Amino acid sequence: ISTTSGLSESGVLHPLQRAFLDTFATQCGFCTPGMLMAAKVLLDHTPNPSRDEVVEALSGNICRCTGYEPIIQAVLTAARSNSQNAA
């Protein structure tokens, strides 16, 4: 079982965690672990997802705070970051 505790390595935030902070995608934080892990599964299988693919991947998680857009932007930001680091 993978959890958010296993995302960061040696105290360095995972690109998704960094992007969630940078885009203010976390407010109360209740949905954040589920959003992060759903996004991680998406990026593991689809490293460069479309916006629609991100929306679909996160659709099983409910957020009462953000209106979803910051979370979607965080996932797209992390995907861009990953592709830039891989180049």
**Which residues contribute to the site for ligand FES (CB under 6 A)?**
26-31, 63-66
In the complex with ligand FES, the residue whose CB is nearer, 15 or 66, is 66
- What secondary structure does DSSP assign to 4-37, as a single string? GGGTSBTTBPPHHHHHHHHTT--SS-SSHHHHHH
In the complex with ligand FES, the residue whose CB is nearer, 38 or 63, is 63
Rounded least distance, CB 35 to ligand FES, Å: 7
CA distance 10 to 62: 30
Rounded least distance, CB 42 to ligand FES, Å: 17
Rounded least distance, CB 15 to ligand FES, Å: 19
Collect all residues with Cβ–Cβ distance below 8 Å to 48 and sequence separation of at least 6: 79, 83
